[in-house]
Amino acid sequence: MSFDLVLFGGTGDLTWRKLMPALFQAFRHGKLPEGGRLIAVARDERTDEQYRAFIKERFAEVDSSKQPSDEEFARFAELLHYRRMDLSRPEDYAGLKDAINARGAHTVVLFLATSPHLFPQICAQLGAVGLNGLNVRVVLEKPLGHDLASAQEINRVVRAAFDENQALRIDHYLGKPAVQNLSALRFGNALFEPLWRRESIANIQITLAERLGVGTRGDYYDTTGALRDMVQNHALQLLTMIAMEPPPTNDANCIRDEKLKVLRSLKPFTPEGVARDVIRGQYRAGTVDGKAVVGYLDEVKVPAASACETFVALRTEVQNWRWAGVPFYLRTGKRMAVPEAQIVINFREVPHPIFPGASRANKLVIKLQPEDGLELHLLAAKGSATSGSGTSEVLAPVSLDLDFDKAFSSHRVGAYERLLLDAIAGRLNLFVRSDEQEQAWRWVEPVLEAWRNDATGPRPYAAGTWGPAAASALVARDGFAWSEEQ
Ligand code: BG6
């Protein structure tokens, strides 16, 4: 199946850091369909050869285990082409269309790896020159808006040129292998389904913790914050995958319909609810991995008096029959103690303990990164102990561990690799539909609004910790603790 993949923003960070390495991995492992052409588009003048040299140089900065040999790169480079475009000039779009039509590829994927403020302009121009036929798909990278109104405006402009099924909104968390495993765990196995409900589950915790600070992205981050950057999209998408009902088929729209129902069932925030159930924090100087690091306010391109949150913890509920009353805790932050993304399903304790001192409940840990695996925590008999009241069994916590990298020794497809391959193949399951995205904005908006009206700002926390103490109190209030504290 021949394809043209056009990368707008062809010299930008996203392209060389994530997209090109992912495309190279797909190529190296024989997953990229034959007959492909990768066309990078950017503003400056370059030849194909100069662009190939640029990408080769940048590859040196990516993970060393993923580096191509000279021979591998030479073969990959044959797919790479460069095209200069001024994105405001209609003639340049017409030229791109001619170049694409001249080859007549079966599929055309237009990946907008540019700043989002250019999306409306690019989509309108693509529509105007007719580069929106049925074989064309457009891929949009976040941030897709900064609130509901701006997201709706982007969707309106995109929809004027492309059908919903042609517009692929990326949430790269959905491309992570662990997230596909979550779907497989729930809908490919009958084991957990009877337990996957309020009667058996005490609470659910989603933690997306990063050790890194904002780095050189201070200007972007400061107008975004953790709620928009991680919660509105990644954390909520994970929540929908955990809470959704089994879809009737594995078809993209069946899955998206179920995810949308979850988003619509989330308990809406009132101003009092935000004050009670949402904690925001901002990192101060501290020690991370043995090294002293500066606080957020001293990062480059961050205003000295910024009230931007680098940490959010919140409690919500999914208000339906399956989940009524079960707390869902979401937590994400920069400069956390440990780089770790995981979902913890905490089951209820036994109704009537007969073993002394053993009240620890079972939990299922779905690990997204750094490792990708599953852990089922159980209690097992360790031996016996004798006390005044006789001899009794001593139980100790043990876990069943599944490491997917070990279980599947073949190459595991990374998030961007998977999403790019799906975009080329037209598989939409892992892309976010506009109504899901807008519903997620609708849900976070009262939080943004309440924060705007609250001058107290984020709570400080030392870099290299698990965030403000209030985040622990949020969970402790219900009689629980964050998983790492148990
Ligand atoms: C991005 C955010 O969407 O996700 C970044 O904009 C964040 O701020 C990144 O660092 C985290 O992704 P991952 O895959 O490294 O967990």
Q: What is the pLDDT of residue 463?
A: 98
Q: How remote is the C-alpha of 67 from its chain's centroid?
A: 25
Q: What is the pLDDT of residue 67?
A: 86
Report strand pairing: 3-8 vs 36-42.
parallel
Measured by CA distance, the residue closest to atom 8 of ligand 1 is 229
Q: Give the separation between CA 195 and CA 287, rounded to whole angstroms.
A: 41
Q: Give the separation between CA 322 and CA 342, rounded to whole angstroms.
A: 22
Please give the C-alpha separations between residue 133 and each of 110, 124, 391, in angstroms, as whole numbers: 12, 14, 76
* 372 Cβ below 6 A of ligand 1: no
Please give the C-alpha separations between residue 102 and each of 96, 125, 429, in angstroms, as whole numbers: 10, 19, 31
* 210 Cβ below 6 A of ligand 1: yes
Distance 380 CA to ligand 1 centre (A): 38
Distance 92 CA to ligand 1 centre (A): 33
Q: What are phi and psi of 257, to 5 degrees?
A: -60, -45
Q: CA 88, 89, 94, 98: dihedral to nearest 10 degrees? A: -90
* 229 Cβ below 6 A of ligand 1: yes
Q: Give the separation between CA 333 and CA 340, rounded to whole angstroms.
A: 10
Q: Which of 230, 311, 332, 419 to mutate to test the pocket of ligand 1 (most atoms within 8 A of CB)?
A: 230
Q: Which of 13, 63, 140, 229 to mutate to test the pocket of ligand 1 (most atoms within 8 A of CB)?
A: 229
* 309 Cβ below 6 A of ligand 1: no
Q: Give the separation between CA 386 and CA 161, rounded to whole angstroms.
A: 76
Q: What is the pLDDT of residue 23?
A: 97
Distance 234 CA to ligand 1 centre (A): 9
Measured by CA distance, the residue closest to atom 4 of ligand 1 is 230
Cross-sheet strand order for the sheet of 340-347: 390-403, 373-387, 363-369, 340-347, 201-209, 328-333, 311-316, 278-284, 459-462
pLDDT digits over 213-249, tens only? Answer: 998 889 999 999 999 999 999 999 999 999 999 999 9
Q: CA 83, 86, 91, 97: dihedral to nearest 10 degrees? A: 40
* Atom of ligand 1 lying closest to residue 224 CA: 6
130 Cβ neighbours under 8 A, 6+ residues apart: 97
Q: What is the pLDDT of residue 486?
A: 45
SS3 readout for the chain: CCEEEEEECCCCHHHHHHHHHHHHHHHHCCCCCCCEEEEEEECCCCCHHHHHHHHHHHHCCCCHHHCCCHHHHHHHHCCEEEEECCCCCHHHHHHHHHHHHHHCCCEEEEEECCCHHHHHHHHHHHHHCCCCCCCEEEEECCCCCCCHHHHHHHHHHHHHHCCHHHEEEECHHHHCHHHHHHHHHHHCCCCCHHHCCCCCEEEEEEEEECCCCCCCCHHHHHCCHHHHHHHHHHHHHHHHHHHCCCCCCCCHHHHHHHHHHHHHHECCCCHHHHHHHEEEEEEECEEECCEEECCHHHCCCCCCCCCCCCEEEEEECECCCCCCCCCEEEEEECCECCCEEEEEEEECCCCCCCCCCCCCCCEEEEEEECCCEEEEEEEEEEEEEEECCEEEEEEEEEEEEEEHHHHCCCCCCCHHHHHHHHHHHCCCCCEECHHHHHHHHHHHHHHHHHHHCCCCCCEEEECCECCCHHHHHHHHCCCCCCHHHC
Q: What is the pLDDT of residue 475?
A: 98
Q: Is the pTM of this model over 0.85?
A: yes
Q: What is the pLDDT of residue 359?
A: 65
Q: Give the separation between CA 313 and CA 306, rounded to whole angstroms.
A: 19
Active-site residues: which are they? 234
**Per-residue confidence of the chain (486 residues) as pLDDT tens digits?**
899 999 999 999 999 999 999 999 999 999 999 999 999 999 999 999 999 999 999 998 887 677 899 999 999 999 999 999 999 999 999 999 999 999 999 999 999 999 888 999 999 999 999 999 999 999 999 889 999 999 999 999 999 999 999 999 999 999 999 998 999 999 999 999 999 999 999 999 999 999 999 988 899 999 999 999 999 999 999 999 999 999 999 999 999 999 999 999 999 999 999 999 999 999 999 999 899 999 999 999 999 999 999 999 999 999 999 999 999 999 999 999 999 999 999 999 998 888 876 667 899 999 999 989 999 999 998 888 887 778 888 888 899 999 988 888 777 889 999 999 999 999 999 999 999 999 999 999 999 999 999 999 999 999 999 999 999 999 999 999 999 754
Measured by CA distance, the residue closest to atom 10 of ligand 1 is 210
* Atom of ligand 1 lying closest to residue 221 CA: 8
Measured by CA distance, the residue closest to atom 6 of ligand 1 is 229
Distance 389 CA to ligand 1 centre (A): 55
Q: Which two tokens stand for residue 408?
A: 């599947």
* Atom of ligand 1 lying closest to residue 368 CA: 16
Q: What is the pLDDT of residue 396?
A: 87
Report strand pairing: 136-140 vs 167-170.
parallel
Distance 322 CA to ligand 1 centre (A): 31
